[in-house]
């Protein structure tokens, strides 16, 4: 549990669609309106929750809130295991417009925690694998640890936060 930092301008662009887009337009039209800000935050939280669910990630009582004033997502619930908990946090944080994730999730089955790594320009999973495991051929371990958000080992981008599982 705790606060995990993300790159605000990197990630899935969820706030430009559907209810979240309409709420953001309302805020721009009337920036001092607290009711519209609350509605926009709720729409953004719902968009992030829907995205997490679309990745086939679930937790008992999973709740997602968004605070646009500080670009922070909070995730609550009970994940079935440590890997699912970390994937939910990474999915919530790898959304454009999110700067921090307040991880309030607990787990049914605890396990050693993964490390997090922010991708920089020129990175490959092999390069990251060599850095963390001393062996570039262990890249598949990182790829598997970040499924379903990653669909191919070559499709990573600068600013993306990845889970690096223990050796």
Share of the chain above pLDDT 90, in %: 74
What are φ and ψ of residue 100, in 5° steps? -145, 150
Q: What does pTM read for this prediction? A: 0.88
CA distance 50 to 99: 19
CA distance 16 to 14: 6
Q: Model confidence over 147-156: pLDDT tens digits?
A: 999 999 999 9
Q: What is the DSSP letter of 10?
A: S
Mention every residue, 6+ apart, whose C-beta is less than 8 A from residue 46: 19, 20, 64
Strand ranges, E, within the chain: 2-5, 60-67, 72-81, 100-109, 115-118, 161-164
Residue 2 has pLDDT above 90, yes or no: no
- State the first-to-last Cα distance of the chain, in angstroms, to the nearest integer: 21
Judge contact between 122 and 128, C-beta under 8 A. Answer: no
Sign of CA dihedral 20, 1, 90, 71: positive
Q: For the beta carbon of residue 49, count every other beta carbon within 10 angstroms.
A: 20
Crossing angle of the two packed helices 34-54 and 18-29, in degrees rounded to 10:
160
Q: Per the omega criterion (within 30 degrees of 0), is the bond before 159 cis? A: no
> At 121, is the pLDDT very low, low, confident or very high (cuts 50, 70, 90)?
very high
């Amino acid at each position: 549990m705790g606060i995990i930092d993300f790159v605000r301008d990197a990630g899935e662009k969820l706030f430009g669609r559907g209810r979240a887009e309409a709420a953001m337009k309302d805020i721009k039209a009337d920036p001092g309106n607290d009711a519209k800000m609350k509605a926009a935050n709720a729409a953004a939280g719902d968009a992030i929750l829907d995205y997490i669910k679309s990745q086939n990630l679930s937790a008992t009582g999973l709740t997602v809130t968004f605070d646009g004033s500080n670009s922070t997502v909070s995730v609550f619930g009970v994940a079935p295991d440590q890997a699912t908990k970390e994937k939910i946090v990474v999915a919530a944080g790898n959304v454009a417009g999110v700067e921090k994730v307040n991880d309030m999730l607990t787990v049914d089955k605890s396990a050693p925690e993964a490390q997090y790594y922010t991708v920089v320009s020129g990175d490959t999973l092999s390069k990251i694998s060599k850095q963390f495991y001393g062996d570039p051929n262990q890249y598949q371990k990182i790829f598997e640890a970040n499924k379903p958000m990653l669909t191919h080992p070559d499709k990573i981008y600068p600013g993306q936060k990845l889970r690096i599982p223990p050796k």
